[in-house]
């Protein structure tokens, strides 16, 4: 598929497949199109005036570029975690319960159970169980990011998109988010944009190197970082540019 901002082509006929329940890292220098590509996968780019997609994106047997796609349901199935933690101005509990309630879960017992399950999965439960009704904004940056991940998984997505989810966090919180990604891939397919080569090498199964809107190389992470096929991939991962 290709993505345009007006006349400008930001993604150039990229074709790739994402394996189920694996982590794929998108790497490349600033402006190469990683975030544009990621946002296309749940049609968040639709929200940008002038942005358009050509081609097809097949997820679960549906071409999500089809005009009949229910984008609310699509974004339920394909969650997004942003660079800066962005909890709602609501309590910790409500941050997690909001999505499921919106999608029809009404019973308090079911919501209580779901909130606990999601906070346990994101390793937050023990840190917040005594203050579930305090504001999510009162948590540390790293805790807020894990709360945002808990919020994403509360609506039972199949796929999680993460746009530099740890770049605003300190090293300890970054390590926690990376551990969490390793846990979450048991249940979800994850696509992560990162500028951090070590992070890509640590967390992903496959890595895609983008440059100026082209997909230059896409392979097993181990291969990309030890024996890439393309010289520009080698130059980028060894810090010779970007």
Site residues for ligand ATP per CB under 6 A? 5, 10, 28, 30-36, 48
- Least distance to ligand ATP from the beta carbon of 5, Å? 3
- Least distance to ligand ATP from the beta carbon of 183, Å? 26
- Judged by beta carbon, residue 52 or residue 222, the one nearer ligand ATP is 52
- Judged by beta carbon, residue 34 or residue 43, the one nearer ligand ATP is 34
Contacts 24+ apart (CB under 8 A), 172-175: 172/142, 173/140, 173/141, 173/142, 173/143, 173/145, 174/142, 174/199
Integer angstrom CA distances of residue 215 from 7, 27, 61, 118, 230: 20, 10, 23, 34, 11
- Least distance to ligand ATP from the beta carbon of 199, Å? 14
Whole-number Å distance between alpha carbons of 207 and 156: 25
- Judged by beta carbon, residue 219 or residue 242, the one nearer ligand ATP is 242
Counting every residue written for the chain, the total comes to: 242
- Judged by beta carbon, residue 211 or residue 225, the one nearer ligand ATP is 211
- Least distance to ligand ATP from the beta carbon of 104, Å? 33
């Amino acid at each position: 598929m290709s993505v345009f901002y007006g006349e400008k082509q930001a993604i150039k006929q990229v074709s790739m497949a994402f394996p189920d329940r694996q982590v794929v890292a998108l790497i490349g220098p600033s402006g190469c199109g990683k975030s544009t590509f990621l946002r296309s996968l749940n049609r968040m780019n639709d929200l940008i005036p002038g942005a358009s997609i050509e081609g097809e994106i097949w997820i679960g047997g549906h071409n999500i570029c089809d005009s009949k796609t229910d984008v609310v349901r699509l974004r339920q199935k394909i969650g997004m975690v942003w660079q800066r933690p962005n909890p709602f101005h609501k309590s910790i509990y409500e941050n997690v319960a909001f999505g499921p309630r919106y999608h029809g879960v009404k019973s308090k017992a079911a919501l209580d159970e779901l909130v606990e399950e999601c906070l346990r999965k994101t390793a937050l439960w023990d840190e917040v169980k005594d203050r579930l009704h305090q504001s999510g904004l009162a948590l540390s940056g790293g805790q807020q990011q894990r709360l945002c991940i808990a919020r994403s998984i509360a609506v039972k997505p199949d796929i999680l998109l993460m746009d530099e989810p740890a770049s605003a966090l300190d090293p300890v919180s970054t390590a926690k988010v990376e551990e969490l990604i390793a846990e979450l891939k048991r249940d979800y397919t994850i696509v992560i944009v990162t500028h951090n080569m070590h992070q890509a090498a640590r967390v992903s199964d496959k890595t895609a190197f983008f440059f100026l809107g082209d997909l230059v190389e896409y392979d097993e992470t181990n291969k990309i970082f030890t024996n890439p096929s393309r010289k520009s991939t080698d130059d980028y991962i060894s810090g010779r540019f970007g």
